[in-house]
Structure formats: C-alpha cells, structure tokens
Amino acid sequence: MPYIWRGINHPESIRADRMFSHLRTGLLLAAMTGLFLAVGFLLGGQTGMLIALVVAIGMNGFAYWNSDKLVLRMYQAREVDERTAPTLVPLVRTLSRQAGLPMPRVYVVEMAQPNAFATGRNPANAAVAVTSGLLRLLSQEEVAGVLAHELAHIRNRDTLTMTVTATLAGAISMLANFALFFGGNRNNPLGIIGTIALMILAPLGAMLVQMAISRGREYEADRVGGEICGRPEWLASALTRLEQGARNIENPIAERNPASANLFIVHPLSGRGADNLFATHPSTTNRVARLREMAMRLRPSGNPWA
C-alpha cells in the first residue's frame, strides 16, 4: 500500500505546524481586509469605510459562489473525461481516493506554459486544471506529484482562501486607483500628497500580504501533496522542470490578470527584477529542498504506480 496521510497519526509537531499555518493565514486575511477598510476610511471617512465594507462583503460573496467558473472561463479551460483524457482522469481519481476527497472536475488549458492550478469553494465543488504544456513536458510520475499538490490545496481549502485573497488584492488596487476621483472629498484627510502615496502604498501592501499568504499555503500543499502521492521526489522533480518552463514561456492570460498568479503551482509571470521580492510563490529551490528532505524521511511500503 502507498503511504497515505492520516492526520490523527501525525506527530504533535506536525499538527502544531499545521495549526500555526492556518492561524497565520487567518491573521493575514484579516490584515488584508483591514487594509481594504482603512483605504475606504482614508478616502471617505466613516462613509467610505462602510462603502468599502459593503463592497468587500459583496465581492467575497460573489467570489465564493463564482470563483471557479470565472477562473476556468478566464483561462479557457476545457473539461475532460476518461474518453478525452484516458491517462489524466484516472490518475486524478486514484490520487483523490488516496487523499480522501471526492473526484474533482478535470480541465485542460491549451497553453504552452507548463503549469497547473486548482479552484472551487470546497472539495465538493472543486476542479483541477493542467496546461497542455505541462502534459507534454512532464513524466506520468511528475504529473502525479503536481496533481497531488493541487489536491492538497483542495483538501486544505486553499482554493477558496487564495481566491478571496486575489479578490481583495484586486479590490484594494481598484480602490486606490479611484483615489484621485475621491481626493477632493471633504471627508478625505490625506490631501493630494497623501492620496498619491495611498495610490502607491495600498496596492503594495496588498501585494505583500497576498504574497505572504500564498507562500505559506504553497509550502503546506507541497508537504501534504508529497504525502498524498507517497513520492515527494516526484513533485520536487516536477517543480524544477515547471519553473524552467514557466521562465521561458509566457502565460499571456496571467500577464493580463496578475492577481490570479497565486493560483498556479509555479509563478506564471515573466517579470524579472521584482520576482524574488514580490513573487507570490516561495523559492523553487527551497521547495525542492524541503521535498527531498521529506522523501528521505518517508519509507513507503509499496509503489502504487509500478
């Protein structure tokens, strides 16, 4: 039997790390929501803050119910089944069973850049998507590692967290861009200099919080994904090849919609100078090192793919 993650058998230290990770994510989401409300207050006083609160609730509610449809439509994803994807779909089914998850919908995005993402508000309404470039580049074992990572996001409810984060980050940037229109409001205590500073600093702050949330969730999904497939080295190998491919091949849709970058398994944007500082993903070198260390600790009793 392959190694299968069982939360109740985890050492206390691993459970504590997982609890800390979820607490940290909750605090960062609260910080981003607070930043959104603060921008509304600075632009329009209490009225502006109330408007920002209503907008935040409305946007998050909309994202909760429609995020998967919006993302899949944005990337022109095509749903596949065992007839149209006879290798991919059974692989997802096997890994979903090992992860204790219902079978998600499976999509292929016709895109040269090798990448993948998961979406959906909960495990019962989840979807995983891989690009055609990923299927051409990776071996079956490496694809299994990638799919296990995406299923880990679904089980950890990261798909909803990252969608809400992207929605709030986009809303903060939008609100900051409206700053000049509201700059003359008598309730605005900032003045023209403060308004200009707000236009620059608010999106920057949102980007930093989004980055922190995304990086923490990626590390956790790597760990759980390695446990789901039982071979962390498969995911480590896949990440190395995916990063190289993503660096050399553009993702035009993500370039036009950078707030969606945190959904992917590797950073999809081609920008160079700010990548290390502002990328939504942790260093691939660090991720691979953790996975290889994890592989040394695991001693699975069998290979389900042999």
Choosing from 12, 79, 142, 150, the catalytic residue is 150
> Any known ligand binding at 218?
yes
Q: Beta-carbon neighbour count of residue 304 at 10 Å?
A: 16
- Which DSSP state fits 224? H
Cβ pair 107, 146 in contact under 8 A: no
Distance CA 141, CA 217 (A): 23
Rounded to 5 degrees, what are φ and ψ at 119? -150, 170
Distance CA 294, CA 276 (A): 24
Closest CA to 170 of 216, 146, 203, 197: 203
C-alpha distances in angstroms, 278 versus 24, 220, 264, 274?
19, 19, 15, 6
> Any known ligand binding at 22?
no
CB-based contacts of 24, cutoff 8 Å, min separation 6: 216
Q: Has 150 been annotated as catalytic?
A: yes
Q: How would you classify the pairing of strands 105-109 and 78-79?
A: antiparallel
Cβ pair 142, 237 in contact under 8 A: yes
Cβ pair 263, 120 in contact under 8 A: no
* Residue ranges at the known binding site for Zn(2+): 149, 153, 218
Catalytic site positions: 150
